[in-house]
Every structure is written in structure tokens, then in C-alpha cells.
């Protein structure tokens, strides 16, 4: 049986809890996970070396998730972007979907719920 290629996943959220927990949870299945609290650094890294999946918070001080998504998709159309919304920003998530996001997930969520979305995204790549 052919071994599954590990996914390269980028997680961007200015709250450390998100990156810390998702890195641990998503790496368990063998995927390669990099986490960033600075969206500008993340976009710079992505431009140099695109990832398969980008998971980004929508509301960040430095740069919002929509801008991140636009930069990512401009660099790599194949990358799937998943938006993390806060407790009351589902409307913003809908806007992200209309602009090309693959899906969104609202906090609070379990890492397993995000894993299910990532797996769907990987199948459609």
C-alpha cells in the first residue's frame, strides 16, 4: 500500500494556545506542522515555500486572516485555506468563504474537528 505523503500544514494565530495545541495534535498523524503568531512572518515563509494547508485566525492585530488568505492564494492556488473564527465572527467567516476559503471552524473547537476538515481538504487537492 502506498504510504500517505505527509501534509505540510501552516497554522497562523496570534494566540499561543492555538499554535501549541494544534502543533501537538496535528503532528501525531505524521504531518509537518509549522505555527506562527505573526501573520507577516507566516506570509513571508509561505511565499518562499508554499504549504498544502493554511489554517489562519481571521482576526489578528498585525494582519487579518482575509489578507493572509489573499496572499496565500495569490502565491499558490492549490493551497487550501481554513479560517478560524472567534466566538462571534461567523459573518466574517462567510465573507472568507466567498473569497476562496475552503472552510471555517469556530472557537472553541476540538483539534479532531479541525483534523476532519483538513482531511477533506487534502482529498480535494
Query: Interface with another protein by CB under 8 A: which residues?
Result: 15-18, 20-22, 86-88, 107-111
Closest distance between another protein and the C-beta of residue 119, in Å?
Answer: 18
Closest distance between another protein and the C-beta of residue 49, in Å?
Answer: 24
Using the minimum distance from each CB to another protein, give the nearer residue, 48 or 88: 88
Phi–psi pair at 120, nearest 5 degrees: -65, -40
87: which DSSP letter?
T
Using the minimum distance from each CB to another protein, give the nearer residue, 57 or 71: 57
Using the minimum distance from each CB to another protein, give the nearer residue, 38 or 76: 38
- Is the preceding peptide bond at 102 cis, omega within 30 degrees of 0? no
Q: Which three cell numbers mark 73?
A: 492564494
> Which residue in the block uniquely carries the three cell numbers 496565500?
72
Amino acid at each position: 500500500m502506498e504510504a500517505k505523503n505527509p501534509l505540510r500544514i501552516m497554522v497562523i494565530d496570534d494566540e499561543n494556545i492555538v499554535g501549541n495545541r494544534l502543533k501537538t495534535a496535528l503532528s501525531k498523524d505524521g504531518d509537518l506542522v509549522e505555527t506562527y503568531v505573526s501573520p507577516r512572518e507566516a506570509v513571508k515563509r509561505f511565499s518562499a515555500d508554499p504549504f498544502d494547508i493554511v489554517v489562519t485566525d481571521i482576526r489578528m492585530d498585525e494582519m487579518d486572516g482575509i489578507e493572509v488568505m489573499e496572499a496565500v492564494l495569490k502565491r499558490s492556488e492549490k493551497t487550501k485555506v481554513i479560517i478560524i473564527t472567534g466566538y462571534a465572527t461567523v459573518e466574517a467567516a462567510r465573507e472568507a468563504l466567498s473569497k476562496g476559503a475552503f472552510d471555517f471552524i469556530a472557537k472553541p473547537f476540538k483539534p479532531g474537528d479541525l483534523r476532519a476538515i483538513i482531511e477533506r481538504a487534502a482529498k480535494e487537492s
